Amino acid sequence: MEQIVDYKNDPGNGYTNSLLCFMQLFIVSNESNTYYFANNNKEHFAFDADERFLPVYQFSDKDNKKITHLHDFSEAVLRKCALGELISKYMVLVASEQKMMIMRPYQIYAVKAIMDCIEQNRGNGYIWHTTGSGKTLTSFKASTLLKDNHKIVKCLFVVDRKDLDRQTREEFNKFQEGCVEENTNTETLVKRLVSEDYRDKVIVTTIQKLGLALDEDNKRSKEKKKKGELTYKDRLAPLKDSRIAIIFDECHRSQFGENHKAIKNFFPKAQLFGFTGTPIFEENATYKQVDGTIGSYTTTKDIFEKELHAYTITHAIDDRNVLRFHIDYFKPENDRDASKINEEQQKKAVVQTILSKHDTITNNRRYNAILATSSINDAIEYYNLFKEAQQNFIDADDSEFMPLNIACVFSPPAEGNKDVQQIQEDLPQEKEDNKKEPDKKKQALTSIIKDYNEQYGTSHDINNFDVYYQDVQQRIKDQKYTNADYPHKNKIDITIVVDMLLTGFDSKYLNTLYVDKNLKYHGLIQAFSRTNRILNDTKPYGNILDFRSQSDEVDKAIALFSGENNSNRAKEIWLVDPAPKVVEKLDKAVSELEKFMESQGLECRPEEVNNLKGDTARCEFINKFKEVQRLKTQLEQYTEIEEKDAEKIEELLPEDILRAFRGAYIDVAQRLKSEQGKENEDKNPEVEQLDFEFVLFSSAIIDYDYIMRLIAKYTQTEPKKQKMSKEQLIGMLSATSNLLDEREDIIEYIDSLQVGVALDEKEIKAGYQKFREQKNNQEINIIAKKHGIEIQSLQSFIQEIIDRMIFDGEKLGDLLAPLDLSWRERTQKELDLMADLIPLLKKLADGREIVGLNAYE
């Protein structure tokens, strides 16, 4: 990493310095000459829209071409006006989370394009920003900047579903507390539209509510006319000729219908802006309807006139803002002709394939999946087949089998329910399916919800379907919690759907889509994109397991949505390398590790890592082995690896050698991490810049309960019959970063157990908790004596922090008040005390974040 300019200590750059000094910024570049900001500790001062640290933020021009020359970078970013605008307009302070977010370049260009279009009154336009690229933040910024534009009377952000209305409001209010309120009904919407209150200038609503307000033929409007009262449309008449900005989210969906026409007709001076990840072009404007006839969409360009800015999925994958796809096309076993297999046999084969591959493809259930089916009947059949198949494993008393938690969601027959009718506006298959044998569909869904209630202890029913649907979505997102914080029994492993969740639904912990449904063009891209949100290196790509061999449709979709000038190389950007190529990369990475160890005069063996001399060599080892582990993690999630490749992987790194290297890595990483951030003259810049990526060395299986279970088995088994020795148990624990803060305590506890005394899991857990409390109390006593603080006061101080998970600096001052120190002495005492307390507090927090503690780290 090279430092280019230090704007904190450069007195010759006064204006820029005055803007940036409070951030203490450096401009730095990496090996590929990508420029970004960091502070004087090479830490990162801001997050982007996906809450990732800023080094992934790359400066690009409006055509998404990366800026790699320092002169061009300075001209584009560091000019007084440009830098001032970046800080004043395109950063978001999220007070509730104590962090600053910065918009990515393509988001800034999109907002500028909308603002220029309005300023010059140049009609309508659309923004083509791929799914997962942060359209909500872009639209939020556009909306809030328009709030201060006096030429615009109102700014409406329009979504096409009730759940997206709720989701958008929550996101907007996270960016700026209280900036939009809920429109519980059309009456509330109309009141806000005619209100002159500044707080009502930006409104988030559904297109259905807006359409209802403009419809004179609906039941409520007719009743008002009979009574001689003003209809909604009459009350909105004063706005008819006003300049209004209307921003449509995912403008390829319902907005192309009658509601959209009504809005355009009533507000002739409105400027319409559409956001879409998958525009409608001539090529994908026609489609086969459920009844077999050919339907057609109006193209995005026909409605919104012109493209204002484009950031395609090709750009996003290339910039690592979304993941690539790993697509497997399923073939029946033994290469049997699929046409000779009946539909039920095919579905059973799909279920068996999913059961056999799910743990691999989801990194041992660290992530979850969606199964997309072609009809409600198919969804019901799959649900029942999963129940049957899993029950067979349970009846067979298979001790290795752990049942998957399967949920199923599809809309019920509407039967006049307005919420269901609204949901079904964008669910054509489900809407049509429910017309045939609706009672059977209701009965099946009632049974599915009953199973769901038994599994999760809920009390949902089909009459409140929307509440059930919301709960399913939340449980999919709850995958983000560890099993220790939120047990697996509360989570969903696979959700079976027809149309639902395949557009607009986001969860970073969903990494797999199983497909038994015909998809094409924008529908295919939207569905695939549920899996490719960036998280960390344990999620290297979005997994697609296609049971309909739709490779031709995938190729067509890639060609259409890759954007201009990208189609030639799009496929290699979108799709991951085949397994043999990744094995080659692993071979090279292992070879690089071997060369490095030999250059240090050491054999490439785990036990030799401790003999590395100096932090520079240790840093090199961290980087070399981290690449080995990253590639190994990728290969572990491939569902189809040929035998020769599997043998090659084992030959390169046998499992016991890999585990030992992982343990060595964690030891070295912990040692170097303890050195980071320390203020001393000889601190190593290479150590400061290291990212240890401990998540690569974590395990979805080896959690607290798993370890306690193994310890119990270890005590209950005669030494000769033990499947795992004490040394192997400790070795396994040392090779994972899951219980990093507790590892030494657990190892000490294992060593303290009396040989020959059998204990069950409950006794092991109780014994460990008692052991841990005693050790923590000893540590607190030592810290209290060292700093001259009363033991009881320190215990109460620590307990309050852990209870609230908030560190209060004022309470620290109160703790030290009895020492009667001068201001200077107290400041130093705080620093010394916190240096001892932080490791203990982190251990007691069990991986949870203590708000406010990072100020003392």
Q: What is the pLDDT of residues 401-417, one digit of tens each?
A: 899 999 999 999 988 77
Domain with CATH 3.90.1570.50 in the chain: 1-102
- Residue 347 CB neighbours (<10 A): 19
Q: For every residue of 747-783, which 3-state class applies, written as one string?
A: HHHHHHCCCCCCCCHHHHHHHHHHHHHHHHHHHHHHH
Mean pLDDT (the chain) is 83
pLDDT of residue 12: 37
Cβ-in-10-Å burial (0-12, 13-18, 19+) of 415 comes to exposed
Is 57's pLDDT higher than 70?
A: no
Q: Which fold has domain 1-102?
A: tt1808, chain A (3.90.1570)
Is 857's pLDDT higher than 80?
A: no
Mean pLDDT across 778-784: 92
Mean pLDDT across 259-266: 81
Q: For every residue of 553-607, which 3-state class applies, written as one string?
A: HHHHHHHHHCCCCCCCCHHHHHECCCHHHHHHHHHHHHHHHHHHHHHCCCCCCHH
Q: What is the pLDDT of residues 422-463, one digit of tens each?
A: 778 778 899 999 999 999 999 999 999 999 999 999 999 999
Comparing 312-316, 469-473, 587-591, 823-827, which segment has the lowest mean pLDDT? 823-827
24 falls in which pLDDT band (50, 70, 90)? Answer: very low
pLDDT of residue 378: 97
Q: How far is CA 733 from the centre of its chain?
A: 27
Distance, in Å, from the CA atom of 572 to the CA atom of 550, rounded to the nearest integer, reads: 18
Comparing 70-84, 208-222, 524-538, 720-734, which segment has the lowest mean pLDDT? 720-734
Comparing 108-122, 173-187, 295-309, which segment has the lowest mean pLDDT? 173-187
Percent of the chain with pLDDT over 70: 82
Q: How far is CA 147 from the centre of its chain?
A: 30
Greater confidence (597 vs 24) lies with: 597
CB-facing half-sphere around the CA of 438: CA atoms within 13 A:
10
Mean pLDDT across 204-224: 80
pLDDT of residue 373: 97
251 falls in which pLDDT band (50, 70, 90)? Answer: low
From first CA to last CA, the distance across the chain in angstroms is 23
Distance, in Å, from the CA atom of 153 to the CA atom of 171, rounded to the nearest integer, reads: 23
Cβ-in-10-Å burial (0-12, 13-18, 19+) of 180 comes to buried
Nearest to 370 by CA among 531, 549, 553: 531
Is 327's pLDDT higher than 90?
A: yes
565 falls in which pLDDT band (50, 70, 90)? Answer: low
Cβ atoms of 310 and 135 within 8 Å: the answer is no
Cβ atoms of 619 and 675 within 8 Å: the answer is no
Nearest to 156 by CA among 242, 98, 70, 74: 242
Cβ atoms of 61 and 52 within 8 Å: the answer is no
Greater confidence (297 vs 804) lies with: 804
Distance, in Å, from the CA atom of 141 to the CA atom of 92, rounded to the nearest integer, reads: 9
Per the listing, tokens 């899996």 go with: 531
Distance, in Å, from the CA atom of 195 to the CA atom of 432, rounded to the nearest integer, reads: 40
Tell which phi-psi region holds residue 202, choosing left (phi > 0), alpha (psi between -120 and 50) or beta. Answer: beta
Structure pTM? Answer: 0.79
Nearest to 540 by CA among 739, 738, 367: 367
pLDDT of residue 40: 41
Distance, in Å, from the CA atom of 507 to the CA atom of 530, rounded to the nearest integer, reads: 7
Is 783's pLDDT higher than 90?
A: yes
Per the listing, tokens 């060395």 go with: 697
Q: What is the pLDDT of residues 385-398, one digit of tens each?
A: 999 999 999 888 87
E strand map for 330-380: 368-373
Percent of the chain with pLDDT over 90: 39
Q: What is the pLDDT of residues 668-726, one digit of tens each?
A: 988 888 888 766 666 778 888 888 887 777 766 666 777 777 888 777 766 555 556 66
Nearest to 512 by CA among 357, 373, 703, 640: 357
Is 26's pLDDT higher than 70?
A: no
pLDDT of residue 606: 93
**Which of helix, strand or coil describes residue 278?**
coil
Per the listing, tokens 């990208």 go with: 566
Q: What is the pLDDT of residues 83-132, one digit of tens each?
A: 888 888 888 776 666 667 788 999 999 999 999 999 999 999 999 999 88
- The tokens for 832 are 């010394």
Nearest to 372 by CA among 232, 163, 486, 530: 530
For domain 324-575, give the CATH number. 3.40.50.300
Cβ atoms of 160 and 426 within 8 Å: the answer is yes
Range among 61-65, 197-201, 453-457, 801-805 rated most confident: 453-457
Cα 193 to Cα 225, 246, 255: the distances in Å are 21, 12, 19
Nearest to 733 by CA among 834, 662, 800: 662
Output Rg (C-alpha) for the chain, integer angstroms: 30
Is 611's pLDDT higher than 70?
A: yes
Cβ atoms of 104 and 48 within 8 Å: the answer is yes
Which amino acid is it at 486?
Answer: Y
Distance, in Å, from the CA atom of 723 to the CA atom of 705, rounded to the nearest integer, reads: 18
pLDDT of residue 680: 66
pLDDT of residue 175: 59
Nearest to 528 by CA among 106, 132, 20: 132
- Residue 72 CB neighbours (<10 A): 14
Distance, in Å, from the CA atom of 615 to the CA atom of 503, rounded to the nearest integer, reads: 49
Is 400's pLDDT higher than 80?
A: no
Helical axes 162-175 vs 465-477, angle rounded to 10°: 50
Q: Give Cβ neighbours of residue 166 (< 8 Å, ≥ 6 apart).
A: 182
42 falls in which pLDDT band (50, 70, 90)? Answer: very low
CB burial string 491-521: b at 16+ within 10 A, e below: bbbbbbbbbbbbbbbebbbbbbbbbbbebbb
Overall CATH class of domain 104-311: alpha beta
Domain with CATH 3.40.50.300 in the chain: 104-311, 324-575
Parallel/antiparallel/unpaired status of strands 510-516 and 286-288: unpaired
Distance, in Å, from the CA atom of 754 to the CA atom of 326, rounded to the nearest integer, reads: 49
Is 285's pLDDT higher than 90?
A: no
Mean pLDDT across 604-616: 92
Distance, in Å, from the CA atom of 180 to the CA atom of 594, rounded to the nearest integer, reads: 58
Is 227's pLDDT higher than 80?
A: yes
Mean pLDDT across 356-383: 95
pLDDT of residue 405: 97
Which neighbouring-strand residues pair with 514?
371, 545
- The tokens for 64 are 């998404």
Comparing 396-405, 530-539, 747-756, 776-785, which segment has the lowest mean pLDDT? 747-756
